[in-house]
C-alpha cells in the first residue's frame, strides 16, 4: 500500500500534477495556530503548494456578514468571496499566482481558512 502511494505521488509530480507554484519557498506547510479572533496572520509557509498569491504573507479576516477578506502587506483589502465582492471590496485577482500547469491557483483553501474565522468567538 505504501509503495502504491509513493508511486502515485511520483507519477503526479512527474506529470506536473497539482496546481501550486512550481517551486514554493515552503513546500511543506507549517500549521497555523488555532484562531482566537476573526482575523489571523498567514504566510506562504502555512500553505506550501496551496499558497495562491504573489505576496508571501498577509492577514485573513472575516468581517460581519461573512465577508472573507485578505489584507495584503501594504494594507490593501481584497475580497475572497462573493459577499466581500458584493460589498465593494477590491478583487483579489491582481494578487493571484499561477501554478505549475499555467492556471491560477485555487483560492479554496484560503477561503475556507478565512470563513472558519467567522465562527471564532474571541
Those residues with Cβ within 8 angstroms of residue 41's Cβ, 6 or more apart along the chain or in another chain: 57, 58, 59, 60
Q: What is the pTM of this model?
A: 0.75
- pLDDT tens, residue by residue, 34-70: 788 999 999 999 998 889 999 999 999 999 999 999 9
- In Å, what is the CA distance from 16 to each residue of 9, 19, 67, 98, 121? 11, 8, 34, 13, 41
Compute the distance between CA of residue 81 and CA of residue 85 in angstroms, rounded to an integer: 6
pLDDT exceeds 50 at position 16: no
**Span 99-121, mean pLDDT?**
91
| Size (the chain), residues | 122
What is the DSSP-derived secondary structure letter of residue 55?
Answer: S
pLDDT at 61 (0 to 100): 97
Compute the distance between CA of residue 71 and CA of residue 104 in angstroms, rounded to an integer: 19
Those residues with Cβ within 8 angstroms of residue 58's Cβ, 6 or more apart along the chain or in another chain: 41, 42, 43, 70, 71, 72, 73
**Cell representation of residue 81:** 468571496
| Residue 27 buriedness (CB in 10 A; 0-12 / 13-18 / 19+) | exposed
Kindly list the domain boundaries of the chain, sorted by start residue. 36-122
Amino acid at each position: 500500500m505504501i509503495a502504491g502511494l509513493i508511486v502515485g505521488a511520483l507519477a503526479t509530480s512527474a506529470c506536473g500534477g497539482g496546481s501550486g507554484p512550481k517551486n514554493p519557498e515552503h513546500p511543506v506547510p507549517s500549521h497555523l495556530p488555532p484562531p482566537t479572533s476573526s482575523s489571523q496572520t498567514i504566510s506562504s509557509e502555512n500553505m506550501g503548494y496551496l499558497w495562491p498569491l504573489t505576496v508571501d504573507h498577509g492577514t485573513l479576516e472575516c468581517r460581519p456578514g461573512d465577508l472573507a477578506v485578505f489584507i495584503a502587506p501594504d494594507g490593501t483589502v481584497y475580497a475572497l468571496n462573493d459577499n466581500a465582492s458584493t460589498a465593494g471590496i477590491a478583487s483579489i485577482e491582481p494578487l493571484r499566482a499561477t501554478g505549475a500547469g499555467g492556471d491560477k491557483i485555487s483560492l479554496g483553501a484560503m477561503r475556507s481558512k478565512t470563513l472558519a474565522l467567522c465562527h471564532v468567538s474571541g
